[in-house]
């Protein structure tokens, strides 16, 4: 797909200029993706190694963990390769090695399937599939359009996932609390009520990025949103979830390079299947498969549901005997519930030890509870509770208007 230039079609000067812009563009996308992933990895280092207390949940049961010190060695090699992407003359072999390393680590633990890593990984796969020959304009455009599909899809589904009253009435006010706490009650209420606009606005950004007439407005709105989130979540205000700080900065870079920079892009054509099978797969992964998360058939974090208040949350209630039998580093994460019971929350355990949010799926939570059950004397010493979105709205649409409609699943060691 050609980019608009100042000369006529077929003008060698114009063609060379467009080709040079495209080559710079793909280098910038690769650089932003690589450095963004490296920064988040450094923040969440414990997530990527095997030597930690938080249980691993391999893709294949009984898949052996990468032992120490090989786990640190593999992570270190991938980090070095990520940091080398902006500088090496031959990027494709480096990108292939990075994708291979990340895939191996993904196989070893589903908690690593964080949304930001999933996005980077798919973009790096698209970039690794490109030949990186300066004259391969078709391949370059296919890779860039696959990356555009990923970015736009993240915005679209992140917005749709927030179309629930739990986000509008609880999740959004909680996110805005550092700001609203210093405002007058009346002004704070006005800010909190804007939560009803956020889902539509965010989904609209995703669609707007794919339409040439609205692309610049959508990109500008997204840039403003990320700048605000960096301020709100950053160290100056709430200092919350630092692993997503580099991702917010990277998204701003993607917006500039993919949708605003280097000439005009006819973005409404980026979904065309003419860019190859890999491009079609990317479209399916980021625009079709997230719809299955609404019926529990696709993972929430692979559907941009972070901060949607529409994910599963778990608690592991344990006896005092189990608490005392746990390793000292795990005991530090045990709390007293309001009813006096001891509770171990995977969300607390994950964010404190690995500085990454817990992966919110039944199979992961059950695997964590099974690890705790190894310290139990009786099945009832460990009770797992998982709260998840109720899917009953499929046959009763009126429940969409019900606040906090969720279901709870309970298991003991006997049923895990």
pLDDT tens digits for 35-60?
999 999 999 999 999 999 999 999 99
Residue 11 has pLDDT above 80, yes or no: no
Q: What is the mean pLDDT of residues 138-166?
A: 95
Q: What is the mean pLDDT of residues 336-346?
A: 95
Residue 400 has pLDDT above 80, yes or no: no
Rg of the chain (C-alpha set): 23
C-alpha distances in Å from residue 345, one per residue of 350, 352, 358, 416 = 9, 11, 10, 17
* Euclidean distance between CA atoms 407 and 99, whole angstroms: 37
Nearest to 145 by CA among 24, 253, 23, 272: 272
Question: What pLDDT was estimated at residue 267?
Answer: 66
Residue 398 has pLDDT above 50, yes or no: no
Residue 202 has pLDDT above 60, yes or no: yes
Supply the DSSP symbol for 257.
I
Structure tokens at 368: 């964590």
C-alpha distances in Å from residue 325, one per residue of 13, 285, 343 = 73, 43, 14
Q: What is the mean pLDDT of residues 105-119?
A: 97
Residues whose CB falls within 8 Å of the CB of residue 361, separated by 6 or more in sequence, listed in order: 110, 299, 300, 312
Q: What is the mean pLDDT of residues 55-72?
A: 95
Residue 310 has pLDDT above 90, yes or no: no
Residue 376, phi-psi category: left (phi > 0), alpha (psi -120 to 50), beta (remainder):
beta
Asked if 149 contacts 283 with a C-beta cutoff of 8 angstroms, the reply is: yes
Asked if 358 contacts 352 with a C-beta cutoff of 8 angstroms, the reply is: no
With bands split at pLDDT 50, 70 and 90, how would you rate the model's confidence at 81? very high
More confident residue, 397 or 180: 180
Residue 265, phi-psi category: left (phi > 0), alpha (psi -120 to 50), beta (remainder):
beta
Residue 119 has pLDDT above 80, yes or no: yes
In degrees, rounded to 5, the angle at the alpha carbon of residue 328 between the alpha carbons of residues 327 and 334 is 90
More confident residue, 267 or 392: 267
- Number of Cβ within 10 Å of residue 270's Cβ equals 24
Residue 395 has pLDDT above 70, yes or no: no
- Look at residue 255 and give its three-state secondary structure: helix
Query: Beta 406-412 vs 334-336: how paired, if at all?
Result: unpaired
Surface-to-core class of residue 47, CB atoms within 10 Å of its CB (0-12 exposed, 13-18 middle, 19+ buried): buried
Question: What pLDDT was estimated at residue 378?
Answer: 95
Residues whose CB falls within 8 Å of the CB of residue 51, separated by 6 or more in sequence, listed in order: 68, 71, 72
Question: What pLDDT was estimated at residue 238?
Answer: 87
């Amino acid at each position: 797909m050609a980019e608009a230039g100042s000369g006529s079609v077929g003008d060698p000067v114009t063609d060379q200029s467009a080709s040079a812009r495209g080559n710079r563009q793909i280098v910038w996308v690769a650089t932003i993706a690589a450095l963004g992933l490296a920064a988040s990895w450094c923040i969440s280092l414990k997530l990527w190694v095997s030597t930690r207390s938080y249980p691993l949940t391999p893709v294949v049961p009984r898949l052996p963990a990468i032992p120490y010190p090989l786990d640190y060695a593999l992570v270190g090699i991938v980090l070095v390769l990520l940091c080398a992407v902006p500088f090496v003359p031959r990027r494709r072999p480096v990108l292939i090695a990075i994708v291979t390393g990340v895939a191996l680590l993904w196989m070893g633990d589903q908690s690593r399937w964080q949304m930001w890593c999933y996005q980077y990984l798919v973009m790096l796969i698209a970039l690794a599939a490109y030949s990186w020959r300066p004259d391969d304009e078709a391949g370059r455009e296919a890779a860039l359009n696959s990356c555009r599909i990923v970015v736009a899809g993240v915005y679209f589904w992140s917005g749709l996932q927030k179309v629930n009253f739990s986000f509008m009435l609880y999740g959004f006010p909680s996110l805005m609390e550092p700001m609203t706490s210093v405002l007058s009650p009346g002004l704070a209420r006005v800010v909190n009520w804007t939560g009803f606009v956020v889902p539509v606005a965010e989904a609209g950004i995703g669609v707007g990025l794919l339409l040439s007439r609205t692309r610049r407005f959508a990109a500008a709105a997204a840039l403003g949103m990320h700048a605000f989130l960096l301020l709100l979540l950053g160290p100056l205000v709430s200092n919350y979830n630092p692993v997503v700080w580099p991702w917010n900065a990277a998204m701003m870079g993607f917006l500039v390079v993919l949708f605003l920079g280097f000439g005009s892009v006819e973005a409404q054509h980026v979904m065309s299947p003419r860019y190859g099978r890999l491009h079609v797969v990317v479209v399916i992964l980021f625009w079709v498969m997230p719809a299955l998360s609404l019926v529990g058939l696709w993972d929430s974090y692979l559907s941009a549901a972070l901060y949607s208040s529409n994910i599963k949350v778990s608690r592991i209630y344990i006896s005092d005997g189990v608490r005392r039998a746990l390793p000292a580093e795990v005991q530090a994460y045990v709390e007293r519930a309001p009813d006096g019971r001891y509770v171990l929350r995977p969300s607390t355990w994950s964010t404190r030890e690995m500085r990454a949010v817990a992966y919110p799926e039944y199979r992961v939570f059950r695997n964590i509870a099974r690890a705790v059950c190894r310290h139990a004397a009786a099945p009832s010493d460990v009770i797992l509770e998982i709260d998840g979105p109720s899917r009953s709205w499929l046959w009763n649409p009126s429940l969409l208007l019900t606040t906090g409609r969720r279901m709870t699943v309970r298991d003991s060691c006997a049923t895990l």
